[in-house]
Structure 1
Amino acid sequence: MATSSVSKGCFVIKPKDSRKRKLPNAADYFNNGKAVSENDKLRFSTYQSLWQQMKEETERLQEHLNEKIFDSLISFIKKSCIQMNSDVNDWSYRMRYSEIPTAALVLGVNVPDHEMTLQGLSSLLKQSVTPHIVFLQGKECTTVKQILQKILMQLIGGNGSDEEKEEDLHHSFEFHQRKMNCSMVSLCRWYNAITKRPHFKIESLESTFGHLEGGKVSPSAVCIHPVFALNSTTKSPTKKKKSLLQHKEVHPIVIIFKDLESFVPKVLQDFVVIASNHVQRLPMVLVFGIATSPITIHQMLPHSVSSLLCIELFQSLSCTDHLATVIDKLVLTTKFPFKLSGKVLQILNNVFLFHNLSTKNFVKGFQLSLLEHFSSQPLSLLCCDLDEASARIQNLNHDDCELIRHLQSFMDYVDRQDAKKQVELLTNDQNLKTVTETLLSSLHVYHKNYFPVLKCLHILASSLPKYPLGRQIRELYITCLESNIWELEDYTSAFQLLGMMAKDELVCLLQKCIEVLQASEHESLTQAIKTLEDFLAKFQKLDDVFVENVEGTEEHKARSQYSLQKKTDLYQLQKTLMEMKELKRSRKPSRFEILRMNVLEFMDKLARQYLLPPETQPLHELVYFKISGELRRHLNAAPRAALQIALSNPYSYLKNEALKSEEGTITNVAPDICIIYKLHLECGRLINLYDWLQAFATVVCAAEGKDPDKDNGQVDGVLYARFIRAVSELEFLGFIKPTKQKTDHVARLTWGGF
């Protein structure tokens, strides 16, 4: 009977399974339940290859964007640790004796991206500064003791970011926890053993740390000056410093607080006070990951504690600038053949702006779009490089050719051809393959011209007040994808504002446009580059003409000013003003105004020629993902609707034929919570629990073949427990709540169902 209690003899021990679990073949999802064909395998391999290229490009982009701030952080950490191979260190004089070097890293409100940024920082620190990196989260560090446990556990594991290794070490760490006191003294001893530094006697601190219980610690109990912690053979701090200077390299312990705002202020204060008394024996650097504002540090830490930190501020790149760069490298490029339609890009943009501001989630949405495109479009195997697509076209079978003929864009293309060519396209597969290869090549050229001209139009429009065509290029791109942009009123108003632009501003914008077109290196835009360069040369000639005519203009202004200033009556003044107005109206436009008008007409011509919507291009379905409803269903979750659908129609999720039922009926074989939910839909605002229980027993007994009136209305204990559990689950989901109006009733919180 000594082990009669289950809680005394039951332990969870996770076995170490060295064998890798066999994952299902992902290519099976591309066949819609049919046998896997060669085209399905080819589509899946194309998806994998294309996504791998995009992923690598995103990672390189992330490293490039964070390169500047990472370099500054690494430089700060290197300088903040006292260099042991020099007699004088300027940085050490900036810090007081007990100050801890602290980097306040403002990451922004895009919290999902913080993990990726901090992991990149950790990798660089391990390569160039120190292998001792610790990650702390507020939800795991509610006491000082837990902070010290996490620090020791991650340092012993050697990789604080590896969650699996940390979990494996957790059990062994708990086993030795009684022998090793989780204190700063233990951390100092571990660091001295790892770095083979001189060990100092600090028994007083070890005994003092016994006051730490449940995270409550008296800072005064551990505020012992390092001088008194020295060995008796050490006579002065000066000799100690000289002995330490013999070491050439110091590997500090970098403690990264991922989410500073979620830490308990009192716990953080106690930890800083304790750490400041060991910073000379234990080189530490704190990195505060801040999502809101640097003022958070002073709100959480009083002046007496914040004065123990030597803080330097670091500001990361804003999430909107990061997204603009990602879109430029993944979307507005011909490097990757896959493209997004206007509605799909608008959904991803809205999720970014109104939900999380996370570039990481935007890339995940982009990956989901790529996967859905290759899964739903059988001809997506041609969504690859142009040379590879030409080889794949020749291997298409008759069924694939029929799929091409049924594309709406190809049908429109066939309708524009003469009768003889229409017959060839609809009957001759070889001729179809040749035309398909030509159309894909034309689609590639369309994108080569589209993106440089789009960027030029954005350069012109982004300099206008109130941004009629959008401030970001993604807004302009979405507009161009959905319609003919030159038919919009905003486009007309934008060119009207450009018609009032000064010469210096217009010349600067033209120079930027020329640089963008030259970077495209496409032959069809060579003539456009030459025309813009001619416009620039003409603007330069206008400066010489302006110098020659400036004297005549000044003389004319002086004459007009004299005629207005001389003494006259009201009639003569009105007559003079009318003459000046007529003269201004009948004045011919200047050479600059004519040249500016010609420039705007040329840019408008480029937009009308190259910024056609993708729907005008044959075979655009092969590379453009347009199923916005599927993407919205995955990204814009509606939990209430999903819950009500699952409870009212469990077949939609469980796919059990026995659960099929007519609308308005209750299936007696459904899960208990589904039966409870449907019964509660028949009640009013208040639900009698006894009546609810009797109705539930009637439905369940009918499923089990029992007579509900056999026990004179008494409900079986097991059935009663099932009812209580189902009601509790329904209350947890927010459909009902207890009410004080009637003790044996519950209140209904929702009305209607799906």
Structure 2
Amino acid sequence: MSTSSVSTGCFVFKPSTKKKKTKSLGLDEYFSLGCEGADTNNVRFGLFHALWNKIQTETELLQDELNKQVLDSLLDFISKSSSTRQRSNWASQMRASEIPTAALMLGVNMPDHDMTFQSLSELLQQSVTPHVASVQAKECATLKHLMKRVLERLMDTVVAEEDDEEEEEEERRIPVHKGWHCSLSMLCEWYNTQTKHKSSTPGKKRSSPSKDQHPPIVIIFKDLEAFNPKVLQDFILICSRYIERLPLIFIFGIATSPSTIQHMLPHSVSSLLCIELFQSLSCTQHLTTVIDKLILTSKFPFKMTGKVMQVLIGLFLFHDFSVRNFIKGVQLALLEHFHSQPLSVLCCKKKQALRNVTQLSHEDLEKIRQLPSFTSYVNKQESQEQVQLLKDDAHLKKICRKLIKDLHKYHKNYYPTLRCLHALTSSLPRYPLGKQIRELHLICLEKCVWETEDYQSAMKLLKMMAKDELIALLQRCTETLQPSNSKMMKSALVELEDMLSKFRQLDEASEVVQYDNESAPVKSLQKKTDLYQLQQALLEMNKSRRSKRESPYGILRSQVLEFIDNLVKNHLPPPESQTLNEVCYYSSSSNVRRHLNATPRTSIQAALSSPYYYLLNESLKTDDGSVSNAAPDICIVYKLHLECGRLINLYDWLQAYSTVVSAAEGHDPESDNFGKVDDLKHARFIRAVSELEFLGFIKSTKQKTDHVARLTWGGC
């Protein structure tokens, strides 16, 4: 765009209508960034995407199934409350102003509440009423905000706020009466218009009276504990005056205890609510079901090692009790595995994995040869076979197909055996192998479970178990083996059912006869006898005890426990013993912990101590690990404060800072102005100290007015 002209003038250039389009990266391209084994990254991304979609679908179905009972109870409560009101069967004039209220106990796993309330809102709108409004405490700081959010979500429109200062002042003086009746009156008019419009619509088939004639208005308070009690009280008082005109129903989401309602609302307000309590499934039971259905199954080829599982379960038990965050951790591990492991192209269904083996390149086969599990496998082979495995790619592909089949067969047999062992040991005293199946799974992932002392003690307890108890446990074992489609598990099921039938048909007559024979010498002792006869009787009793045969029940019990022991030893070795386990198992627990269990204080300290690695400025680079005098002010102030004690003198701190800054500015150390504090340095110092206080490294103290207390490295 240029012009040539002899005369001076003004030239206008209109912008081009063709905008330069910036190409945005797709998900697969983001996945490829920093990805090892770029040749197969598209295939791996496709496998990851398909596998995660399947896991996510299964998770949503499972969560809907777990919440079904409490959600159905809530729907039934709302439907009954609405139908009772429509039949004009309000119990008495005393209860005419009471608002039906459901107190939903959800537990402290706050991140999971949104999914529950979303499902509840969808079910309500589908089957009970279209008028549902959900509010949170963070958006309802005042009564005006609460009323505005409720009206907007019910009426699906924008409600304008009054900006008149005089009117706002008047509403502060009279918060309940004058300012807000108009808003609820507007809601009444809107509701009457809606119901009349529905009743006058011709040709519409009625499904239920509550849905067609006068559907209720449901207001959901997601986090009741976080609401301002005064705002909540005023809102309930206002709504109680309109309960005859508006079919209002409240749902309180409570994380702690039902007594929260009593603590937040006085009796004069809580008496206006007709409260019914609903209890959801506990988060620990929810986690157990998720692990049982999504992780302890051979349906999904992706697996996690014991350390990764411990990190995810530890974050759940000691941080947030959130099943949603646990599933996000599984997603992170899945993404990291397919991104960092080039051989994860084999982490898929058996048929697809066998096809992918034939498409492996020479570089991929070399990576297989470098796997620790494959190295152990090669060392166990004969010398000629070792040479072929290390040199012949075609032979290696053939062996890899066999190893992939063995790995899938291992998973098919592992999980039914794990459930069988858990069914036997989960009810033993003191739970030697854990009460939850995830505890037993973690043990089996780390070591050979049959070599542990807990396993030996569990077997000893099973040997002392009575007949009826053992039969009940064996029946549970058969139930765990029935769904399996593995040939070995089916044969084990047949053998176990055969032993179980022998237990049931066991005749105890021989035990009674044996008991009578043993008690005969005891009866002979009751007769009068001399010392010699007594000695002979005791010797005979001792001899009979030594030669006593084991009872039929004891023999059969020993056979069953030996069968279980062999089953465990054959099918519950740790995954590390399986060749090519690295293809399916993700083992980097440090990455999962770093992403999910962030330590901001440590990161901030590292940034302040080593600013070069964050700013990438060559002037900040030092060899001895110290901070350069050209570093940002907060880094200099942080470094100087580490050299002080528990209390830091602000004047001395300022003088040291001024000296460092003067050296950075290139002043002569022998000049009079070197280290002198001017207004600019003083302002920069105050700002850096304020930032350190904001980050929590120092705090003001009342011990000395010109000192601050240090909070790092043991400071109080």
Greater than 4 Å deviation, 4+ residue runs = 19-36, 86-89, 91-95, 172-182, 245-248, 548-585, 704-714
Q: Residue 228 of structure 2 is aligned with which of 264, 274, 282?
A: 264
Segment of structure 1 superposing worse, 528-537 or 565-574: 565-574
Matched, 1:728 2:715: no
Cα 1:325/1:657, change in 2 over 3 Å: farther
User: 2:580 — aligned with what?
Assistant: 619
- For residue 594 of structure 1, the aligned residue among 547, 550, 555 is 555
2:657 maps to which of 696, 705, 728: 696
What is the deviation of 1:147?
Answer: 2.4
The one-letter code of the counterpart of 2:621 is K
- Aligned ranges 1:618-637 → 2 under 5 Å: 618-637=579-598
- Name whichever of 324-333 and 121-130 sits farther off: 121-130
Bigger CA drift: 602-611 or 179-188?
179-188
- Name the counterpart of 1:96: 95
> What is the aligned partner in structure 1 of residue 350 from structure 2?
386
Q: Report the counterpart of residue 56 of structure 2 in structure 1.
A: 55
1:125-144 to 2 correspondences below 5 Å = 125-144=124-143
Judge conservation of contact 2:139–2:145 (CA < 8 Å) in 1: yes
Checking the alignment, whether the CA contact within 8 Å between 2:104 and 2:252 is kept in structure 1 is yes
Q: Specify the alignment match of 2:264 in structure 1.
A: 300
State the partner residue of 1:113. 112
Once residues 466 and 508 of structure 1 are traced to their aligned partners in structure 2, the CA distance between those partners, rounded to angstroms, is 19
- The amino acid that maps onto 1:735 is F
CA RMSD of aligned residues (A): 3.4
Aligned pairs for 1:187-226 within 5 A = 187-196=184-193
2:706 aligns with one of 744, 747, 750: 744
For residue 76 of structure 1, what is the amino acid of its counterpart?
Answer: F
Q: Deviations over 1:371-425 (max 9, x none)?
A: 2212221111221122222222222211111111111111111112222222221
Check the 8 A contact 2:511/2:551 in 1, yes or no: no
State yes or no: 1:687 paired with 2:645. no
Q: Which AA in structure 2 matches 1:724? A: I
For 1:581 and 1:110, the matched residues in 2 are separated by 64
Unaligned runs of 5+ in 2: 1-19, 172-177, 197-208
Counterpart pick for 2:215 among 238, 247, 251: 251
**Which is worse superposed, 258-267 or 424-433?**
258-267
Q: The residue matched to 1:66 in structure 2 has which SS?
A: helix
1:457 aligns with 2:421: yes
Partner SS, residue 434 of structure 2: coil
Paired residue for 1:507, among 441, 464, 471? 471
Alignment partners' CA distance in 1, 2:450 and 2:210: 73
More displaced 10-residue stretch of structure 1: 58-67 or 714-723? 714-723
What letter is aligned with 1:634?
H
Bigger shift: 686-695 or 489-498? 686-695
User: Which of 267, 271, 275 matches 1:311?
Assistant: 275
Q: State yes or no: 1:423 paired with 2:387.
A: yes
Cα distance, 1:38–1:188 mapped onto 2, change above 3 Å: farther
Query: Does the aligned pair in 2 maintain the 1:152–1:182 contact within 8 Å?
Result: no
Q: Deviations over 1:196-232 (max 9, x none)?
A: 1699xxxxxxxxxxxxxxxxxxxxxxxxxxxxxxxxx
How far is the alpha carbon of 1:56 from its aligned partner? Answer: 1.1
Q: 1:280 aligns to what?
A: 244
- 1:236: which partner in 2? none
Which segment is superposed worse, 678-687 or 552-561?
552-561
SS state at 2:296 partner: coil
Determine the structure 1 residue equivalent to 2:5.
none
The number of equivalent residue pairs is 674
SS at match of 2:245: coil
Residue 198 to residue 744, structure 1, CA distance change in 2 (3 Å): same
1:608 aligns with 2:572: no
Aligned in 2, Cα 1:34/1:130: closer, same or farther, shift over 3 Å? closer
Q: 1:129, CA displacement in angstroms?
A: 1.8
> 1:614 Cα shift?
0.7
In structure 2, what residue type is equivalent to 1:419?
S
Q: Residue 429 and residue 671 in structure 1: after superposition, are their counterparts in 2 closer, same or farther (change >3 A)? A: same
Contact 2:82 2:247 (8 Å CA) reproduced:
yes
- In the alignment, is residue 44 of structure 1 matched against residue 67 of structure 2? no
Counterparts in 2 of 1:578 and 1:81: CA distance versus 1, 3 Å = farther
What's the secondary structure of 1:519's corresponding residue? coil
Distance, in Å, in 2 between the alignment partners of 1:656 and 1:174 is 53
| Cα 1:65–1:570 shift into 2, 3 Å | farther
State the Cα deviation string for residues 3-47 of structure 1 (Å, max 9, x = none). xxxxxxxxxxxxxxxx99976444455556489934122222222
Which amino acid in structure 1 is aligned with residue 555 of structure 2?
Answer: I
Cα distance between partner residues in 2 of 1:653 and 1:373: 27
Distance 2:225 2:534 in 1: 71
Structure-2 residue corresponding to 1:205: none
Secondary structure at 1:293's aligned position in 2?
coil
CA contact (8 A) 2:36 2:342 kept: no
Query: Could you tell me which of 308, 322, 328 is aligned with 2:292?
Result: 328
Look up the equivalent residue of 2:60 and give its one-letter code. Answer: E
Secondary structure in 2 aligned to 1:287?
A: strand
Equivalent residues of 2:37, 2:342 under 8 A apart: no
Q: For the Cα contact (< 8 Å) 1:485–1:491, is it kept in 2? A: yes
Structure 2 letter corresponding to 1:660: K
CA distance in 2 between partners of 1:43 and 1:246 (Å): 51
Aligned to 1:148: 147
- Where do 1:568-583 residues align within 5 Å? 583=544
Contact in 2 for aligned 1:252/1:285 (Cα 8 Å) = yes
**Identity, % of aligned positions:** 55
Question: Mean alpha-carbon deviation: is it higher for 713-722 or for 381-390?
Answer: 713-722
- Give 5+ residue unaligned stretches, structure 1: 1-18, 159-168, 200-244
Shift of 1:142: 4.1
* Contact kept? 2:521, 2:537, Cα under 8 Å: no
Question: 1:391-406 counterparts in 2 under 5 A?
Answer: 391-406=355-370
Deviating more after overlay: 40-49 vs 475-484: 40-49
The answer to which of 705-714 and 62-71 deviates more is 705-714
Cα drift, residue 363 of structure 1: 0.9
Q: Is the 8 A contact 1:148 1:184 kept in 2?
A: no
SS at match of 2:483: helix
The alpha carbon displacement at 1:491 in A equals 0.2
Counterpart residue identity of residue 734, structure 1: G
- 3-state SS in 2 of match to 1:146: helix
Q: 1:312 to 1:584 in 2, by over 3 A?
A: farther
DSSP-derived class of the 2:482 partner: helix
Question: How far, CA to CA, are the matches of 2:104 and 2:537 in structure 1?
Answer: 67
Matched, 1:372 2:373: no
The Cα offsets for residues 331-371 of structure 1, whole Å up to 9 and x where unpaired, read as 11111110010111111111111222211111111111112
User: What letter matches 2:111 in structure 1?
Assistant: P
Deviation at 1:328, TM superposition (A): 1.3
Change (3 A) 1:131 1:528: same
Query: Residue type matched to 1:192 in 2?
Result: E
After superposition, the Cα gap between the structure-2 partners of 1:657 and 1:511, relative to the gap in structure 1 and judged at 3 Å, is farther
Whole-angstrom distance in 1 between the partners of 2:638 and 2:189: 63
**2:174 matched residue in structure 1:** none
Q: Is the 8 A contact 1:148 1:182 kept in 2?
A: no
What amino acid maps onto 2:563 in structure 1?
A: F
Q: 2:599 aligns with which of 614, 630, 638?
A: 638
Indicate conservation of the 8 Å contact 1:461/1:467, yes or no. yes
Shift of 1:624: 0.3
Q: Give CA-to-partner distance per residue, 1:617-657, whole Å, 9 cap, x none.
A: 11000110111122222233333322211110123333444
Q: CA deviation at 1:72?
A: 0.8
Q: CA deviation at 1:61?
A: 0.7
1:51: Cα distance to partner? Answer: 1.3
1:448 matched residue in structure 2: 412
